[in-house]
């Protein structure tokens, strides 16, 4: 997308988000895996990770937002890696 929009003067950022403290997955919104899923054996661990119950650090949501907004306002381009442990996602 970036390459197609550059001639039009449009910048595109690909935001790769690591661990950020939110309540997005805390209210039962994590879907159950089917019995045939390859990840079924790790469902308990996956759910704990999604809910932030895994003991790993997370970036505060306001810190995350400030960093992303600062990057956008300073005309950042390409991939942005933001959030705790975002670089190991790649």
Q: Is the pTM of this model over 0.85?
A: no
Q: Which backbone phi and psi does 15 adopt, to 5 degrees?
A: -95, 115
- Give 14-24 pLDDT, tens digit per residue: 888 888 888 77
Domain count along the chain: 1
Whether 21 contacts 59, CB under 8 Å: yes
Whether 21 contacts 60, CB under 8 Å: yes
Q: What is the distance between the alpha carbons of residues 11 and 3, in angstroms, rounded to a whole number?
A: 9
Task: Give the range of the structural domain holding residue 44, as residue numbers without chain letter.
Answer: 2-89
With H, G, I as helix, E, B as strand and everything else as coil, classify residue 70.
helix
The answer, yes or no, to whether residue 36 has pLDDT greater than 90, is yes
81: enclosing H helix or E strand: strand 78-82
Q: What is the distance between the alpha carbons of residues 72 and 87, in angstroms, rounded to a whole number?
A: 19
């Amino acid at each position: 997308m970036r390459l197609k929009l550059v001639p039009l003067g449009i910048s595109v950022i690909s935001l790769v988000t690591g661990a950020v403290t939110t309540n997005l997955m805390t209210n039962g919104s994590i879907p159950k895996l089917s019995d045939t899923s390859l990840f079924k054996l790790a469902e308990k661990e996956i759910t704990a990770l999604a809910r932030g119950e895994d003991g790993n650090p997370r970036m505060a949501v306001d810190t995350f937002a400030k960093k992303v907004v600062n990057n956008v306002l300073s005309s950042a381009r390409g991939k942005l890696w933001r959030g705790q442990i975002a670089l190991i996602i790649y």
